């Protein structure tokens, strides 16, 4: 870690498997809304978890973090376990009166190859994070910084934005919001989403043709 703090209160679990990034990419090239349609419109986070920067599009594997309200020690510990393509998915118990994430953590994320951050809580330093180009979603913004005492967990399932987020599963975000996809669904979804896009493209063409005939 880049901070000097005892981590005795943080439990870290590493015995889980990450979804292959190429399988995630095959689905993530499509809009979150379209992915949601083939997932029976389930697994999408509440709209309160929204993009804090212009750089909203991201995809990767879930690295889940549970932390006490207003404390980010577990996040620092999680970054020690991160690999390129991970997305920090943080349950901060929806507390927005103290931020959990800021520009220094964003710098570490970029150095570690983190694809984005999703925080069920607050962030700060949004101008600086936007300049870095790191996609960050959160429930709100607050300038008040966090404590670093714990407790917390890393690498076990968490709830974030009303969705259960399992370690290693896929998470995809864009301006519409965020969707979580089980690693077991990625391969069949890669086929289903092409079929869904083809259907919708055909429907759009029919709508336009009808409009032109009426013009």
Between CA 169 and CA 193 the distance in angstroms is 18
pLDDT digits (tens, 9 = 90+) for 86-130: 999 999 999 999 999 999 999 999 999 999 999 999 999 999 999
Predicted confidence band of residue 11 (pLDDT cuts 50, 70, 90): very high
**Structural domains of the chain sorted by starting position, each given as residue range(s) with its CATH number in brackets:** 10-214 (3.50.30.40)
Between CA 95 and CA 144 the distance in angstroms is 12
Spatial neighbors of 49 by CB under 8 A, at least 6 apart, are 118, 119, 120, 137, 138, 139, 160, 161, 177, 178
- Of 57-61, 119-123, 186-190, 200-204, the least confident: 200-204
- Mode of pairing for the β-strands spanning 163-165 and 170-174: unpaired
pTM reported for the whole predicted model: 0.95
pLDDT of residue 78: 98
Mean local confidence (pLDDT), 147-170: 98
* Distances from the Cα of 43 to the Cα of 36, 119, 128, angstroms: 7, 16, 30
Tokens at residue 48, please? 């309160």
Between CA 149 and CA 9 the distance in angstroms is 8
């Amino acid at each position: 870690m880049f901070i000097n703090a005892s981590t005795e209160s943080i439990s870290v679990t590493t015995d889980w498997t990450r979804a292959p990034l190429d399988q995630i990419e095959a689905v993530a090239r499509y809009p979150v809304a379209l992915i949601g349609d083939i997932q029976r419109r389930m697994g999408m986070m509440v709209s309160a978890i929204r993009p804090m920067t212009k750089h909203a599009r991201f995809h990767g594997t879930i690295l889940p973090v549970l932390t006490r309200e207003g404390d980010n020690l577990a996040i620092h510990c999680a970054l020690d376990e991160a690999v390129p393509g991970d997305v920090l998915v943080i349950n901060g118990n929806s507390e927005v009166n103290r931020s959990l994430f800021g520009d220094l953590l964003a710098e570490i994320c970029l150095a570690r190859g983190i694809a984005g951050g999703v925080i069920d809580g607050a962030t700060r330093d949004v101008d600086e994070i936007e300049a870095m180009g790191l996609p960050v979603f959160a429930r709100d913004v607050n300038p008040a910084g966090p404590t670093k005492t714990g407790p917390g967990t890393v690498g076990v399932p968490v709830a974030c934005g009303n969705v259960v987020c399992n370690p290693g599963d896929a998470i995809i975000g864009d301006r519409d919001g965020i969707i979580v996809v089980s690693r077991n669904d990625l391969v069949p979804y890669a086929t289903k989403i092409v079929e869904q896009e083809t259907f919708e493209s055909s429907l759009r063409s029919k709508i336009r043709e009808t409009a032109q005939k009426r013009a």
